[in-house]
Structure 1
């Protein structure tokens, strides 16, 4: 399903020394992407990010069974527009044959890459043998990858965490899944530096990402097609993205919670990669422009009533960039319709002024990233 969006802004140019970053046939303009985020990363959020330099994005996890049944899950979750490419449709499920069939549905919808989620740590997902659970069942995970590989001629990727937990057995399970993704010529592998057991607590282990990068350069150097390695975890600012990129040797950075309400993280990262100073925070009018676009696209997808409810959680994230953020937060949370939305923008975003930087660590949320 396609909608029409306005032409994209040109992303900031990356420095010549930046390593090329590809996903299958797609060469990215910078080594970063917007993660799949449950409840957030729809076409509206992805387009807003692309206008600020994001070269590649992933949908939130789409259930295979919902896609196969069609209806609302397919209609809302698989919405694309001409500007929203290249884009990966992320699949979640537990049955190899159903996931293979669902992958074909996403290809028919116009997705460029099929991404498999073996990472989500949310309890209800784990309880249904999906997401991060599959890192405890490498036989099923490998069967899924093989079946989807047989069904999909184009690029595939997979999202992993560094293991189910910190046991040696879990490390071996991870290695089996990682090795199979390489053997099956997956175009990209994204690894979050936390275990499934950690969920979103503690720190992501970036040293693990460094080790994987080294492994790809040595143990898997003979591969005809080397998968692109994306790193994930604790990337909340452009400075974080730059540190991960330079210290771990990953090919690209998967930006998740740091992009919610702050799509400028991509243009900021591009500036830092180019050796330029960190740009100033977006002004009030720049924030308003992003909010207006986000709301307009959300209305196209969901209709005014549902979009108004959906945008409450988006608005309160943008509020963190506003100098009167607490007041703006309270008013966004009360939005019920477009009139309420317009009133908040008229009250708090009419006069231009300098914005502020968002906090370096966002609120903890159970989002599949």
Structure 2
């Protein structure tokens, strides 16, 4: 099967016909990486910026919420869309729809979600254990995308747990099936987001998959982390998720680091306030002021992390309902406060490890290609 490939030239990453001077990908995050947040991040640096995960079945059925989520800026290029699916035929239809209607330029496939409601039905990070089915889904997407020249990339985890690792098989199968690149989150589904990512697994995958680029994901919280991951693993690029929450300027830092330039100092509180206000403005443009400002509330803790902002004021930030109210609160902060060291390091959800909930008998036969029953019925667009 002919593949639309990605290549690395110097520090640039090419996926199909699209090249980024910075080998960085924004990981899809539900409720976060909408068009407003992606634009904010793009204003800071080059990279591939992927929209929130879309369910293939919901796309094919044109679920209203899903169609609303498939929104890109007029100048957003390439338009990267992540699909979740468990049925090869539904995936084929979804990608064909994307190609025929020009909905996106790049398709990323999600086989890394560790959420119990997904794995208990055989989806997300549970699915690569079923090697034949995994391959059929990837091939279906590649075949549907190929006539339009749309590259397909695949993201997965190390495996279900330490006793059921799948990433080497998944990488080989994805490459053989025509994927343009693969990305590995260096955790198992059982770890979820706890502990530390195993970057040595990314290095092993890079040694195992030699024909297409391998991207590393997990615990990239600074430009230094990205350079260190690349040095330790040999990966062709990095995928950034939680590390950019409340700090979209991370993409500026990454661009500087990969270009061999000094990484800028962290912004003072005045600059953070300007970024926060810009985020609010973009969300209001996308959703309307009332809904956009409500959506911003969940970002407040990350933006203000480490700064000397009292608990009462933080509470008020979490209850804002208008841009005017936001402006009033921002005006009360001291813009000269420097970026705090407490703001560095891991951020976002971490939680704890736990047993992965799987369909009954899921581990019995890894070559069983039966489509999981009901895994796509919850087609709420995520």
TM-score under structure 1 normalisation? 0.85
Q: Conserved in 1, the CA contact under 8 Å of 2:138 and 2:179?
A: no
Out of 319, 328, 338, the position equivalent to 1:334 is 319
List runs of 5+ in structure 1 lacking aligned partners: 1-16, 221-225
Out of 92, 99, 106, the position equivalent to 2:91 is 99
Counting only pairs closer than 5 Å after superposition, residues 1-369 of structure 1 correspond to structure 2 as: 18-107=10-99, 108=101, 110-153=103-146, 154-167=150-163, 170-171=164-165, 173-216=166-209, 220=210, 226-320=211-305, 322-324=307-309, 326=311, 329-348=314-333, 351-357=335-341, 358-365=343-350
Shift of residue 352 of structure 1?
4.8
* Residue number in structure 2 paired with 1:10: none
Shift of residue 134 of structure 1?
0.6
Aligned to 1:297, what secondary structure does the other structure show?
Answer: helix
* Residue number in structure 1 paired with 2:372: none
Change (3 A) 1:21 1:111: same
Change (3 A) 1:79 1:321: farther
| CA deviations over 1:230-277 (Å, ceiling 9, x no partner) | 100111122111111111110001011001111111211222333443
TM-score under structure 2 normalisation? 0.82
Count residues with an aligned counterpart. Answer: 338
Aligned to 2:141, what secondary structure does the other structure show?
Answer: helix
Higher relative contact order (CA closer than 8 Å, sequence separation 6+): 2
List runs of 5+ in structure 2 lacking aligned partners: 1-8, 352-382
Task: Considering fraction of residues, name the structure with more helix.
Answer: 1
Within 2, Cα distance between the matches of 1:157 and 1:263? 24
Deviation beyond 4 Å, 4+ runs, structure 1: 325-328
What root-mean-square deviation, in Å, do the aligned CA atoms of Structure 1 and Structure 2 show?
2.2
Aligned to 1:320, what secondary structure does the other structure show?
Answer: coil
Q: Conserved in 2, the CA contact under 8 Å of 1:316 and 1:328?
A: no
Change (3 A) 1:106 1:329: farther
Q: Conserved in 1, the CA contact under 8 Å of 2:289 and 2:322?
A: yes
